[in-house]
Amino acid sequence: MDDDNTLDIQQNVGDVGGDFTKTIVIGDEVDFTEDGAGSEMGDVEAVIELTYNIFQYIPELLFVSVYGLLMYAGVLLIAKTIKNNE
């Protein structure tokens, strides 16, 4: 008797221009890695990886935040200048 209890669910979304196929496989021998190593990531390792990924984007986030605040200050300055000229 075959003891394969793997659940395989596939979903295709209509006829669209991109690849919108989602596959969910639940079983004992599921490959969770992109390189095919077959190791499952634990919760602690996932949090550490998420934290590392967030810290990679801090310089970009700081630049965009400062840029946005400077643009907002510029808009306020222009609005004040226009009101004073009226």
Give one DSSP letter per residue of 30-82, joined into a string.
---SSSS--PPPPHHHHHHHHHHHHHHTHHHHHHHHHHHHHHHHHHHHHHHHH
Q: Report the pLDDT value the prediction gives residue 1, as an integer from 0 to 100.
A: 47
- The domain locations on the chain are 7-85
Report the Cα 34 to chain-centroid distance in Å. Answer: 16
Q: Report the pLDDT value the prediction gives residue 18, as an integer from 0 to 100.
A: 62
Q: Report the pLDDT value the prediction gives residue 67, as an integer from 0 to 100.
A: 98
Q: Report the pLDDT value the prediction gives residue 4, as an integer from 0 to 100.
A: 63
- pLDDT by residue (tens digit) across 28-77? 555 555 554 445 667 788 888 888 888 888 999 999 999 999 999 999 99
Q: Report the pLDDT value the prediction gives residue 7, as an integer from 0 to 100.
A: 66
Whether the predicted pLDDT of 14 surpasses 90: no
Helix H or strand E segment including 85: helix 58-85
